[in-house]
Amino acid sequence: MARSDYAALLTEPAFEYIACSELQRFGLDPYLPQIRRRHRTPAGKFLLRRFPLFPRYLLLPINSAHDPVVRMTRGICRHRPLLADEDGRPWRAPQKVIEAVRVAEQVGFFDEILHKGDQVTFACGVLANVRAVMAADATPETLNLLVPLLGGARVKVSPERVSLTKRNNGL
């Protein structure tokens, strides 16, 4: 029975997307796990944007990792394209683990979306750098916050005015 493990390819800094598309162009099947995170635009607004979950790494089925086109791919680190130990054995991830990562990515487990109990910090205005706690799950228009500094007062603000401080994993 053939093993269907995955290997990790090391990319040049910020070249994950280019390397992924190049490997696909060569007929290989890379996997680039991604996270959606809030990103501030130059205009000061926040957007949800995709970023690599593991910066500088792509996952590729191990049987394709030694293909000669991997070294020719733009964006892949030239001197050591494959993540390996000191003896040269490639790092392996079982397919079951990669499938679990795919499912978690599709469900949005890694995404930076605000939920009840998350701690946030005001990003601007009079309350800049003041911490608050999400009182309810976020909506696209407003956030309901509890501000301990103001005696636990409830405040409604737009999502652009806060940044995530700490995720509450208990809820």
Domain boundaries, the chain: 6-107, 119-166
So what's the pLDDT on residue 46?
67
pTM recorded for the entire structure: 0.72
Task: Share the mean pLDDT of the chain.
Answer: 88
Integer Cα distance of 107 and 123 in angstroms: 28
So what's the pLDDT on residue 58?
95
CATH topology of domain 119-166: SH3 type barrels. (2.30.30)
Integer Cα distance of 145 and 118 in angstroms: 10
Integer Cα distance of 160 and 38 in angstroms: 9
So what's the pLDDT on residue 63?
93
Q: Select 6-107's CATH number: 3.40.50.1820, 3.30.1240.10, 3.30.70.640, 3.30.70.940.
A: 3.30.70.940
* Same-fold call for 6-107 versus 119-166: no
Q: Sort residue 107 into left (φ over 0), alpha (ψ -120 to 50) or beta.
A: alpha
pLDDT of 74-104, one tens digit each?
999 988 899 999 998 999 999 999 999 999 9
Integer Cα distance of 154 and 135 in angstroms: 8
pLDDT of 117-166, one tens digit each?
888 889 888 888 999 998 887 776 788 899 998 888 898 988 878 877 87
Query: Above 80 in pLDDT, residue 109?
Result: yes
Buried b (16+ CB within 10 A) or exposed e, 41-61: eeeeebeeeeebeeebbbbbb
